[in-house]
C-alpha cells in the first residue's frame, strides 16, 4: 500500500515534470500569397517578412513565387494559395461567372502616357498622327480610359488615328528610349523608370478616370481571395491586411527601407527615388466603400468602350467585388 508521503512525493515530481515541459506554442494561422519574384508586390511582402509584421499581427505569411500571372491565378482559384494581387475588373468578371472572389485594395498606382522631356507634345491633342506604344493590349483599362477622354473632350480617336504598337512593357520602354515611339502608355513602375531617365508624364490613367467622373483614386489592384474563405477566417484576413498596412506605413516614411529593398527593386539613385515616390502616391487612403462606388462608375464606362471582350456579358460591376468584411 502506497503511503501518504509517497503519494505527495509522486504528485510533487509530476508537477515538476509538467512545469519543466516545453509545450509547442499555438501556431499562427498561415496566409499563402502568390507573387512574382521581382514584381512590385514582392517589395511589400519582403517588408512584411523582414520586419516580422506578420508575426506582430498574429499571422504567418508564406510567399509562393510564380513565373507568371496566369499560373498564380489558377493556383488561387484551385485553393493552392489564399491570395494573389490582381485587378478589380478581373474579380468582377469572375464573380459574374460564378467564382466567389473578392478584393481588398492594394494600390491606386496606374500607368501613364510618357513622352521624352524634349518632345513637342504638350497635350493629348498633340498625339494625333503619332506612333504610340501600349502595354497590356488593346483592352488595357488605362488605354481605354485615355481613349474615352480623348474622344469625349477632343473628338479624337487615338486608336484609329495613330499607329499603335502593342507589346511587352520592357520592350516598349526600350523602344521609347531609343526613339522608335513618340509616346508610350506603360504600367506605373515602367513609367517611373522612364521618368527617371529623361521622360515626363503627359497624361495619367488616374487623371483620365478623374476627368471621367471618379471622386478620387481607385485601386487598380487589390489582394484577391475566395470570399467564403475570407468570411470564415476574418481574423486571419484582418491580421494580414494590418501587416500589409504596417508595411505600407514603413515604405511611406522610411527612405532607409527603400535602400534595403534596392536589390529587389533593381534600381538605385534617381530611379529608386522615383519608384519610391510613385509607390507612395499609390498607397490607398480612402474608405473601401468609396473606392467601390467609383470602380462601379468606371466599370460602366469600360463596359461601354471595351464591350463583351473586356467584361463578358455583365454590364455592371458584380456586387461584392470589393470585400467589406472588416466594415460589416
**pLDDT tens, position by position, 111-153:** 999 999 999 999 999 999 999 999 989 999 999 999 999 999 9
**Do residues 190 and 230 both lie within one domain?**
no
**Do residues 248 and 292 both lie within one domain?**
yes
**Do residues 103 and 235 both lie within one domain?**
yes
Cβ within 8 Å of residue 106, ≥6 positions away: 41, 85, 219, 221, 222, 223, 244, 284
145: domain CATH number?
A: 3.40.190.10
Lowest mean pLDDT among 149-158, 188-197, 303-312: 303-312
Angle at 67 between CA 63 and CA 69, to 5 degrees: 85
Domain of 165 in residue numbering reads as: 112-211
Angle at 85 between CA 282 and CA 301, to 5 degrees: 70
Ramachandran sector of residue 176 (left: φ over 0; alpha: ψ -120 to 50; beta: rest): alpha
Residue 328 confidence (pLDDT)? 53
In a domain, 132, yes or no: yes
Crossing angle of helices 288-306 and 88-96, rounded to 10°: 70
**Do residues 60 and 75 both lie within one domain?**
yes
Q: Where are the beta strands (DSSP E) in the chain?
A: 30-36, 60-66, 84-87, 101-107, 112-116, 131-135, 163-167, 183-186, 199-204, 221-226
Ramachandran sector of residue 266 (left: φ over 0; alpha: ψ -120 to 50; beta: rest): left
- Asked if the model's pLDDT at residue 9 lies above 70, the reply is no
**Do residues 127 and 203 both lie within one domain?**
yes
Specify the residue for cell string 469625349.
Answer: 152
In a domain, 95, yes or no: yes
In a domain, 12, yes or no: no
Give me the residues paired with residue 186 across strands: 112
**Do residues 142 and 171 both lie within one domain?**
yes
Lowest mean pLDDT among 142-156, 158-172, 275-289, 306-320: 306-320
Angle at 261 between CA 218 and CA 44, to 5 degrees: 35
**Do residues 307 and 225 both lie within one domain?**
yes
pLDDT in tens, 188-245: 999 999 999 999 999 999 999 999 999 999 999 999 999 999 999 999 999 999 999 9
Give me the residues paired with residue 283 across strands: none
Which domain-ending residue is among 192, 211, 230? Answer: 211
Give me the residues paired with residue 135 across strands: 167
Residue 199 main-chain phi, psi, to 5 deg: -120, 160
In a domain, 204, yes or no: yes
In a domain, 9, yes or no: no
In a domain, 320, yes or no: no
**Do residues 95 and 149 both lie within one domain?**
no
Residue 305 confidence (pLDDT)? 85
**Do residues 44 and 182 both lie within one domain?**
no
**Do residues 81 and 229 both lie within one domain?**
yes
In a domain, 176, yes or no: yes
Average pLDDT, integer, range 259-267: 97
Residue 8 confidence (pLDDT)? 34
Residue 325 confidence (pLDDT)? 81
Task: Give the whole-angstrom CA distance, residue 159 versus residue 139.
Answer: 11
**Do residues 244 and 98 both lie within one domain?**
yes
Task: Give the whole-angstrom CA distance, residue 259 versus residue 267.
Answer: 9
Lowest mean pLDDT among 3-12, 118-127, 167-176: 3-12
In a domain, 261, yes or no: yes
**Do residues 89 and 45 both lie within one domain?**
yes
- Residue pair 83/76 in contact (Cβ under 8 Å)? The answer is yes
Structural domain count of the chain: 2
Closest listed residue to residue 233, CA positions, set 50, 82, 7, 13: 82
Amino acid at each position: 500500500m502506497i503511503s501518504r508521503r509517497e503519494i505527495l512525493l509522486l504528485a510533487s515530481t509530476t508537477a515538476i515534470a509538467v512545469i519543466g515541459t516545453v509545450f509547442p506554442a499555438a501556431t499562427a494561422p498561415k496566409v499563402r500569397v502568390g507573387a512574382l519574384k521581382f514584381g512590385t508586390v514582392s517589395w511589400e511582402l519582403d517588408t512584411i517578412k523582414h520586419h516580422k509584421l506578420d508575426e506582430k499581427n498574429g499571422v504567418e505569411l508564406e510567399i509562393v513565387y510564380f513565373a507568371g500571372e496566369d499560373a498564380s491565378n489558377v493556383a488561387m482559384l484551385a485553393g493552392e494559395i489564399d491570395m494573389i494581387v490582381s485587378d478589380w475588373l478581373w474579380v468582377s468578371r469572375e464573380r459574374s461567372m460564378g467564382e466567389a472572389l473578392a478584393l481588398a485594395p492594394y494600390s491606386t498606382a496606374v500607368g501613364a502616357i510618357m513622352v521624352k522631356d524634349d518632345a513637342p507634345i504638350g497635350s493629348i491633342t498633340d498625339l494625333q498622327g503619332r506612333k504610340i506604344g501600349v502595354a497590356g493590349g488593346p483592352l488595357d483599362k488605362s488605354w481605354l480610359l485615355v481613349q474615352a477622354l480623348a474622344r469625349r473632350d477632343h473628338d479624337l480617336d487615338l486608336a484609329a488615328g495613330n499607329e499603335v504598337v502593342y507589346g511587352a512593357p520592357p520592350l516598349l520602354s526600350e523602344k521609347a528610349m531609343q526613339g522608335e515611339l513618340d509616346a508610350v502608355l506603360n504600367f506605373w513602375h515602367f513609367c517611373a523608370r522612364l521618368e527617371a531617365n529623361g521622360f515626363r508624364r503627359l497624361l495619367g490613367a488616374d487623371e483620365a478616370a478623374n476627368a471621367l467622373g471618379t471622386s478620387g483614386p481607385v485601386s487598380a489592384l487589390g489582394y484577391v481571395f475566395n470570399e467564403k474563405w475570407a468570411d470564415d477566417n476574418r481574423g486571419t484576413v484582418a491580421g494580414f491586411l494590418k501587416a500589409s498596412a504596417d508595411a505600407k506605413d514603413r515604405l511611406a516614411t522610411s527612405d532607409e527601407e527603400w535602400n534595403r529593398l534596392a536589390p529587389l527593386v533593381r534600381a538605385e539613385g534617381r530611379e529608386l527615388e522615383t519608384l519610391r515616390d510613385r509607390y507612395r502616391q499609390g498607397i490607398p487612403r480612402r474608405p473601401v466603400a468609396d473606392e467601390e462606388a467609383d470602380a462601379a462608375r468606371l466599370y460602366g464606362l469600360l463596359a461601354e468602350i471595351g464591350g463583351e471582350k473586356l467584361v463578358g456579358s455583365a454590364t455592371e460591376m458584380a456586387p461584392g467585388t470589393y470585400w467589406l468584411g472588416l466594415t460589416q
